[in-house]
Homo-oligomer: A and B are copies of this chain.
């Protein structure tokens, strides 16, 4: 832990930059960075390296790395793949701290390139060099004029200074984001494209931005999760620094995942896990560029209201209805104005509808002061943390703009902590006037509402983080057996971690079974016990509703017969006799191992809810009971647990405790744990508890072809 992100300063704020493979041609890959930095007035020293030149683009050129004066902070390397490692060696010997490697021909090519990438990684590690790439479009930092990139997107213009940073696995998509941002007038000053991520990942870039003075808002584009621990630490740092991270994690669809794999050989992973982990760390996941840049635009003012409420002031009833629909869909609260404030506004303008949305009607066209009065009332009397004024083309009419701005500007200054958005249909110069007066401007009302909602989520995430983390979950000691445990052993393992089973006894003989049933009390359930039979009911290995000692004896024989007939090779260790629990609600608790994020716990209702409706919630392990409770209540079918249709609510406390304990068990069990299936768990009404009725713990036995007799 406590990963050192500051080493990226050599990449993004170098004093001396060598360019190995420098070109005199300003549009060639080895010429673009030099030309871009010269044009942008890079504050450091550029040291071109090219054996065939004495001078490049007006700068003195060095024959080799060895000839360089002093030790460059950073180097940009644009030489053929075969020449890369010797160059890196030389740079290492020179004490260079960071290399940006444009060259392709590494892991993205498949097996052969992968070997070269492994050697490359060994080399940079040996010299303590941080490596961006290979196969990267590079990085830039407009604030000091560093342009270590060959992106042609700079041909249409340099970045606008501002506090937005972009971290992207894909160079082309990263520069797409940058170009769209720049054309919208957004200040995205820092960009890091990570390419093959042999060393520096998107997580590193986020971590550096989280600690930098320059970046306040982070936009990230990810296809998969390399070095997940580093990413999570970076997200944590960003949250602590109150810097929102907007993440496009792409490849959520089957087709998108396949395209991602052919693009950068990245496995996108389980999308639901990505969703859960990003939410856990307070990152805001977005599906499209437009949302990301809308949110980043809003965020650049750094106003993040928690418990966000929106007051919507409009001169078009329609605009208010559209906004209300959008807000309610998102769950953005729009409480009504207080009664007395409504009365005052109604007196001021009898045809108005001053509830929320506050409709000042087209009368505001004749009297722009109405816009100001309604807006002020929303802030003062309504107390909304965010306001949005929908003034459409009226707010863009050149004759009206000066009086509107004059009326609204003092409000912006009086309520500095409120988020203030205006919707106007206006040419860019008029939009700029509103922005200079301190307002965020959208043309589209729905987009404005989505952005306001997102700022509230950011605010809530920051507030929750500031309120302190949940205490570290105490983990049980888990000692997984060497072989795959059978049901009884599985339950015993889980029970040792505090997960309750219905009273049950493993019987090795018919007599033991009968006396166990008598002790437990009828009716009982009986199941065949075998580590080799995972799905017992499919072979007739489960008997319900057994009401007497005689029936226990009959069932015992029947179960052993069933096993002999349907799974002749299975090792049968006995029969399980358990109390039959009736009247509860069947739930499903499980754990799966995610390749990036380790064990992930799942909760759902039994049967169709999981299998047909996919109504499941997941969370990285471990987590506390409060989190477990939130998870349980978040599923669509949760009314079944909380008392829908006149049912008695089930024991959600017990369920939450069980889910949290399961998560601790999974976290403690280590990488040999493959999965856990507790299905069903019977959640009893009232405070009757929750009990596992069946459990399968699957471990990695290191054996191939281990089919578990299934």
Residues of A within 8 A of B (CB): 152-153, 155-156, 168-176, 179-180, 183, 221, 223, 248, 250-256, 258-260, 262-264, 287-290, 315-322, 324-329, 334, 353, 355, 357, 359, 362, 365, 392-394, 396-399, 425-427, 443-447, 608, 611-613, 636-637, 639-640, 644-645
Contact = CB atoms under 8 A, between A and B. Distances in A.
B328 A255 contact: yes
Contacts of A168: 318
Total copies of this chain within the assembly: 2
A325 B176 contact: no
A518 to B, nearest CB: 31
A702 to B, nearest CB: 33
B315 A172 contact: yes
Nearest to A253: B328
Contacts of A327: 253, 255
Contact of A289 (B258, B263, B359, B444): B444
A168 B221 CA distance: 40
A258 to B, nearest CB: 8
Given A176-B319, A180-B425, 4 more contacts: A153-B392, A168-B318, A172-B315, A290-B444
Contacts of A329: 252-253
B317 A425 contact: no
B447 A290 contact: yes
Contacts of A443: 180, 183
A251 B393 contact: no
Interchain residue pairs A-B with the least CB separation, the first 9: A173-B318, A263-B317, A172-B316, A253-B328, A170-B318, A288-B446, A179-B393, A256-B325, A256-B324
Contacts of A426: 156
A322 B446 contact: no
Nearest to A174: B318
A321 B359 contact: no
A67 B176 CA distance: 65
Contacts of A425: 153, 156, 176, 179-180, 183
B645 A611 contact: yes
Contacts of A173: 316-319, 322
18 contacts: A152-B365, A172-B318, A173-B318, A173-B322, A175-B393, A176-B392, A179-B425, A180-B443, A183-B425, A183-B443, A250-B325, A255-B327, A255-B328, A256-B324, A259-B324, A289-B446, A290-B446, A608-B644
A321 B152 contact: no
A390 B90 CA distance: 40
A640 B609 CA distance: 11
B322 A263 contact: no
A607 to B, nearest CB: 8
A392 B318 contact: no
B176 A256 contact: no
B259 A393 contact: no
B172 A392 contact: yes
A92 to B, nearest CB: 29
B325 A251 contact: yes
Contacts of A644: 608, 611-612
Contacts of A259: 317, 320-321, 324, 353, 355, 357, 359
A260 B357 CA distance: 10
A170 B317 contact: yes
B180 A263 contact: no
A365 B248 CA distance: 25
A250 B259 CA distance: 37
A315 B398 CA distance: 41
Given A398-B156, A613-B613, A321 B172 contact: no
B392 A322 contact: no
Interface centre among A153, A263, A328, A398 (most CB of B within 10 A): A263
Nearest to A335: B255
Contact of A250 (B263, B264, B321): B321
A355 B324 contact: no
A620 to B, nearest CB: 23
Contacts of A289: 322, 444-446
Given A287-B446, A640-B608, A320 B152 contact: no
Given A155-B398, A288-B326, A326-B287, A170 B316 contact: yes
A597 to B, nearest CB: 21
Nearest to A255: B324
A398 to B, nearest CB: 7
Contacts of A180: 425, 443-444
Contacts of A263: 317-318, 320-321, 353, 359
Given A170-B317, A353-B262, A152 B325 contact: no
Contacts of A398: 155-156
Contact of A444 (B252, B288, B321, B362): B288
Contacts of A447: 288, 290
B321 A256 contact: yes
Contacts of A365: 152
Contact of A396 (B179, B362, B640): B179
Contact of A223 (B171, B183, B318, B611): B318
A434 to B, nearest CB: 15
B254 A328 contact: yes
Nearest to A317: B263
A265 to B, nearest CB: 11
Given A289-B445, A399-B155, A223 B321 contact: yes
B262 A359 contact: yes
A346 to B, nearest CB: 12
Given A322-B250, A612-B639, A393 B316 contact: no
A452 to B, nearest CB: 15
B152 A394 contact: yes
A644 B608 CA distance: 9
A152 B391 CA distance: 12
A256 B328 contact: yes
Contacts of A318: 168-170, 172-174, 176, 221, 223, 250, 263
A529 to B, nearest CB: 25
Contacts of A393: 152-153, 156, 175-176, 179
Contacts of A397: 152, 155-156
A169 B155 CA distance: 47
A362 B393 CA distance: 41
A328 B155 CA distance: 34
B612 A288 contact: no
A80 to B, nearest CB: 15
A612 B425 CA distance: 42
Nearest to A645: B611
